[in-house]
């Protein structure tokens, strides 16, 4: 988010994020009782079907309205809590808004931070804990993610706005296929 702060859309973040946080908190209980492979395959199928829809209807866009932002927040929060992979679903919904690149990236990051806070809170309250090895890995991933964000900031300048949505869709399709074929 630091690298894309010019894309701040406070209203969209609140409309999308607040319902997402609330729903992700409650949906965060579901992965504790539903098998992970079933969840990942379901997410993969959903993403693959969404991308097929986008490619069949390339001019489709969700109207950038408060109602659609709230709906997107609810769906994103639910899928984040359920699948633990809210970024892909959030990107799928935000791609429909056809936002400028910097707004898309900043908004997605800010909403992800909010929604994942709700989801992780439920995990902690439900007794889920990371072992010490995973905690160390998480700490080591922080500088790697900052480097990745910095590289994205540089590379995104080479992606024309008109190609950005297609690029996001291809990424979603690859994630979807991966989850369908390799859910464990």
> Would you state the torsion angle of the CA atoms of residues 2, 51, 73, 13, taken in this order, to the nearest 10 degrees?
30
What's the confidence (pLDDT) of residue 93? 75
Asked if residue 80 is part of any domain, the answer here is yes
Q: How far is CA 179 from CA 69, 81, 168, in A?
A: 26, 17, 17
Whether 47 and 88 have beta carbons less than 8 Å apart is answered as: yes
* CA 172-134-31 angle, 5° bins: 55
Asked if residue 142 is part of any domain, the answer here is no
Asked if residue 59 is part of any domain, the answer here is yes
Catalogue the E-assigned strands of 36-158.
none
Asked if residue 72 is part of any domain, the answer here is yes
Asked if residue 150 is part of any domain, the answer here is no
Asked if residue 89 is part of any domain, the answer here is yes
In the chain, which stretches have pLDDT less than 50? Answer: none
Count: domains in the chain:
1
- What pTM did the predictor assign? 0.68
Q: What is the pLDDT of residues 15-47, one digit of tens each?
A: 888 898 899 888 888 888 888 888 888 888 988
Number of neighbouring beta carbons within 10 Å of residue 126: 12
What's the confidence (pLDDT) of residue 121? 83
Whether 44 and 177 have beta carbons less than 8 Å apart is answered as: yes
| SS3 assignment, position 63 | coil
Structural domain harbouring 6: 2-130+161-181
What's the confidence (pLDDT) of residue 25? 86
Asked if residue 67 is part of any domain, the answer here is yes
What's the confidence (pLDDT) of residue 182? 84
What's the confidence (pLDDT) of residue 148? 85
Asked if residue 151 is part of any domain, the answer here is no
């Amino acid at each position: 988010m630091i690298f894309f702060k010019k894309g701040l859309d406070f209203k969209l973040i609140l409309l999308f994020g607040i319902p997402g946080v609330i729903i992700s908190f409650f949906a965060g209980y579901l992965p504790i009782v539903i098998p992970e492979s079933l969840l990942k395959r379901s997410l993969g199928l959903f993403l693959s079907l969404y991308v097929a829809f986008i490619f069949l209807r390339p001019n489709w866009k969700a109207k950038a309205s408060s109602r659609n932002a709230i709906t997107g927040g609810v769906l994103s929060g639910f899928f984040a809590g359920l699948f633990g992979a809210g970024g892909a679903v959030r990107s799928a919904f935000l791609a429909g808004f056809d936002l400028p690149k910097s707004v898309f990236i900043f908004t997605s990051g800010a909403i992800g931070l909010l929604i994942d806070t709700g989801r992780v809170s439920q995990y902690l309250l439900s007794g889920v804990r990371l072992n010490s090895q995973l905690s160390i890995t998480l700490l080591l991933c922080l500088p790697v993610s900052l480097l990745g964000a910095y590289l994205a900031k540089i590379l995104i300048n080479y992606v024309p706005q008109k190609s950005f949505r297609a690029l996001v869709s291809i990424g979603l399709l690859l994630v979807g296929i991966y989850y369908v074929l390799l859910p464990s």
